Amino acid sequence: MERILIVEDNKTLANLITKKLRASLHFEVDIAYKLSEAKLFLHKYDYFITLLDINLPDAPDGQVVDYVLSKGQHAIVLSANIDKEFRQKILKKNIIDYVNKGGVDDINYIINTIDRLDKNRKHKVMVVDDSMVFRKQMNGFLKNLFYDVYTVAHGEEALGMLQTHPDISLVITDYNMPVMNGLELVYEIRKEKTKNDLCIIAISGHNDEEINALFLKHGANDYIKKPFSKEEFSCRINNAIESLENIHIITNHANRDYLTGLYNRRYFYESMQTYMESITHTGEKFAVAMVDIDNFKNINDTYGHDVGDKVIIQLAEILSSGTSYRDLVSRFGGEEFCLVLKNINRYSANDILERIREEVASYSLVLESGEHIHFTISIGATLHTEESLDETINLADMMLYNAKNNGKNQVVFK
């Protein structure tokens, strides 16, 4: 488990922060009350974050900050000193943040900041600027916030990078660049990715206020005017990422089944409409399969609905792992699922469905009592040709009905 080091001579405060950290986040916490103790911990461990008081008994002038940074550690400074010049002096060092030790709200801010930094590791950020000096500066800022960072010199390079890394969460772009300026880049990105998919922040020293408005009208989420402080930059970047995460959470709640995490029926039809429009001129074939758990009522009646839910969850995992990332796996309700196998012929689709059926039949769900539960599924499937999606699903449903009537635990493919 990763660790956090608190260097703070106020034992009450150190223990309070430690208690809240352990209750809220998944980190081990060490406490040092002096620089000499901190050195021993740093010799033994690497830390995700260090929280540093700058007035220690054996280091009264902030020596702990320079020492910790020299060891390549990430640091958040804790201080009761509110002098503006002193604060700016410390912020010029390669620290993440400077936090006043004012009370419970400040401790909550520290917890939220560490949580944010932890989540940042899942995000890719791309910096687009023709200035090597600026790219290097931004790279340093962003890596200190734990982002995975890519840097390119102009808009065309940026578009290529987005093709290679479609999971980039945030693009930070300058305005004045050769080949393709920042405004043109925003316009091109928004042809493919909405604000629900990716954030864009424009940065420029341009004095024309119209540029600001044009960036926002073309789809930028925010605009930062040069020069800017490290604190402003960090807050705007983190706020943009947090907004994107919140959108994804809301979208997932709307599109996902609450029990299995698979796509729900509503998303299935929305996604399939887009997919079928995209293959209109390619002639790509796809198969639709309806899947149902055999004798599921008996499982619920015998073992209870909690066990029934576990059976549904396990089947969902088998269906997901047994299909391609391009395919669509959804729960239609109860014990019924619908699969779409894309860009496939009848024989390959039948092979995939048979493998899934066999895997389910050989699976054993072990209860807390040690009892093993076996279950099977029936599958009805068909290859989509000229009919509508609803007609294809109805035909697959008829094949499922035949599979059930013919003895269950089988695939019937028309």
pLDDT of residue 87: 86
Three-state secondary-structure class, residue 6: strand
> Beta partners for 365?
373
Closest C-alpha to 243, from 271, 219, 222: 222
pLDDT tens by residue, 216-255: 999 999 999 888 888 899 999 999 999 999 998 888 888 8
CA-to-CA separations, 374 to 306, 352, 363, in angstroms, rounded: 16, 21, 6
Torsion angle in degrees (nearest 10) through CA of 87, 96, 232, 9: -40
* pLDDT confidence tier of residue 85, bands split at 50, 70 and 90: confident
Query: Would you say 15 and 31 are in contact if contact means Cβ atoms under 8 Å apart?
Result: yes
* pLDDT confidence tier of residue 197, bands split at 50, 70 and 90: very high
Catalytic site residue from 2, 232, 245, 335: 335
* pLDDT confidence tier of residue 152, bands split at 50, 70 and 90: very high
Chain centre distance of CA 283 = 34
Three-state secondary-structure class, residue 365: strand
Count each helix (H run) and each strand (E run) in the chain, helices first: 15, 17
For the segment 147-165, the average pLDDT, to the nearest whole number, is 95
pLDDT of residue 39: 96
For the segment 310-326, the average pLDDT, to the nearest whole number, is 94
Instruction: Assess whether pLDDT exceeds 90 at residue 31.
Output: yes
Query: Would you say 202 and 224 are in contact if contact means Cβ atoms under 8 Å apart?
Result: yes
pLDDT of residue 278: 87
**Residue 331, CB half-sphere, CA atoms under 13 Å: how many?**
21
For the segment 189-217, the average pLDDT, to the nearest whole number, is 88
Query: Would you say 375 and 360 are in contact if contact means Cβ atoms under 8 Å apart?
Result: yes
Closest C-alpha to 80, from 109, 100, 50, 110: 100
Query: Would you say 20 and 109 are in contact if contact means Cβ atoms under 8 Å apart?
Result: no
Assigned token pair, 103? 């009370």
Q: Is residue 85 annotated as part of the catalytic site, yes or no?
A: no
pLDDT of residue 105: 87
| Residue at token pair 């729900």 | 264
* pLDDT confidence tier of residue 86, bands split at 50, 70 and 90: confident
Residue 30 neighbours by CB distance under 10 Å: 20
Q: How far is 91 from 229, CA to CA, in rounded Å?
A: 9
- Alpha helices by DSSP H, listed for 25-62, are 35-44
Tell me the domains of the chain and their CATH numbers.
3-118 (3.40.50.2300), 121-254 (3.40.50.2300), 265-413 (3.30.70.270)
Closest C-alpha to 221, from 207, 201, 203: 201
Instruction: Assess whether pLDDT exceeds 90 at residue 325.
Output: no
CA-to-CA separations, 67 to 3, 54, 75, 114, 358, in angstroms, rounded: 18, 11, 11, 21, 60
What values do phi and psi take at 325, rounded to 5? Answer: -65, -25
pLDDT of residue 88: 86
Mean pLDDT, the chain, whole residue set: 93
Q: How far is 3 from 219, CA to CA, in rounded Å?
A: 40
Closest C-alpha to 185, from 217, 225, 218: 218
